[in-house]
Amino acid sequence: MTNAKVRLELTSTPKTKVPEDKLGFGQVFTDHMFVMDWDEEKGWHDARVVPHGSLLLDPSFGALHYGQSIFEGLKAYNNGGKVYLFRPNKNFERLNNSADRMSLPRLDEEFALEALKEFVKVDRSWVPTTEGTSLYLRPLMFNSEVGLGVHPAKKVTYLVLASPSGAYFTGGLKPIRLYVEDEYVRAAVGGVGFAKTAGNYAASLKGQLKAEEFGCQQCLWLDAKEHRYVEEGGAMNVFFKVNGEFYTPALTGSILPGVTRDSMLQLLRDRGEKVHEARLDVNELFEQAKNGQLEEMFCVGTAAVVTPVGTLVRQNHQTGELEEAVINGGQTGKYTQDLYSELVNLQLGKTEDKHGWLVEVCDAE
């Protein structure tokens, strides 16, 4: 499989590109997409780069009804004439973990990476160059078998879409407000929280809407059993600096193991900081925010990069009143700012890549 060829079927009508300052997130797609099929008989076959366009599927296909669908998210960066991916092997490792949990076939990780590079190379002119922009890559695998029976897929489709995306921050880091969601849960231990699978995001929308109602950008999810221990931000993992040491929730099975989380743990250890993967009680964190022991809080993820949290908000369910815990005066903390710069400079090849995290794809043009 590793030496299998990727067939190229290139578009004859390239699109006009959207100006880089008009790029949002996930709205614009490149000229092509990567596709590969799987069935029981042939395994993975017919790897190809084809024009980005509609799929023709019978409306009974499995993923649409029963959610057997998993995805990934990573970025290609143009850093001074070359196109790089950041730790893509971690994404394929995680995609295979998601595939195992959802009874989907595994990919050959080495081939998946080679194929991804091949695809990005074809659409390399779409990798934006302005600071903060990138080409967001969305690998997706789903049950494409026709029929309404509930069983592991006998036919599966793997796709990679590419979408140039704009700068997440314009004009510096802006601290966000997080709503502590203590009614709905995102995921339970034993379930599928560690998998990047479609239904987790459908289930999270209620929390997201509540957060917005309370003037927050995102919600902070708690554990499903006691509604007390911090899990994550829904598409980002969370870090706390308490009394000079760093904390992030331990991976319990209900938390998505973020690549950025892993990178941040390594960067903090490289700096000689004390870091703990622990069980973090939200009541304690509110106390620590109030007495100043909670010095900084930030979220990390491929999309969020490093996002400061200025305020935690929760509702008293007896009175309906909101309680707010302001962190670092609602300002971006020094460590948060430094860690953001360190990660971005690393991704852009501006600082030494000590851990071999950058994977070169090709010359930019």
Judged by beta carbon, residue 73 or residue 132, the one nearer ligand PLP is: 73
Distance CA 218, CA 288 (A): 21
Question: Which is nearer to ligand PLP, 134 or 288 (by Cβ)?
Answer: 134
Nearest CA among 52, 94, 42 for reference residue 71: 94
Alpha-carbon distance values, 341 to 35, 251, 275, 334, 344 (Å): 35, 26, 19, 11, 5
Interacting residue ranges for ligand PLP, rule: CB under 6 A: 73, 196, 232, 234-237, 256, 258-261, 301-302
Any idea what DSSP says for residue 126? G
Give min distance, CB of 252 to ligand PLP, in A: 13
CB of 53 to ligand PLP, least distance (A): 26
Q: Which residues pair with 299 in a beta bridge?
A: 238, 307
Judge contact between 296 and 335, C-beta under 8 A: yes
**Residue with Cβ nearer ligand PLP (107 or 236):** 236
For residue 344, report the phi and psi dihedrals to the nearest 5 degrees.
-65, -45
Helix or strand holding residue 70 (H, E): strand 69-71
Could you tell me the smallest distance in angstroms from the CB atom of residue 276 to ligand PLP?
19
> For residues 164 and 234, which CB has a smaller minimum distance to ligand PLP in the complex?
234
Rounded CA separation 344/349 (Å): 9
> Residue 236 or residue 325: which is nearer to ligand PLP going by CB?
236
The whole-angstrom separation of Cα 100 and Cα 59 is: 25
What is the full DSSP assignment across 347-358?
Answer: HTT-S--TT--E
Q: Least distance in Å: CB of 104 to ligand PLP?
A: 17
Name the minimum Å distance from CB 197 to ligand PLP: 9
Nearer to ligand PLP, 176 or 235 (CB): 235
- Provide, rounded to whole angstroms, the least separation between the CB of residue 92 and ligand PLP: 12
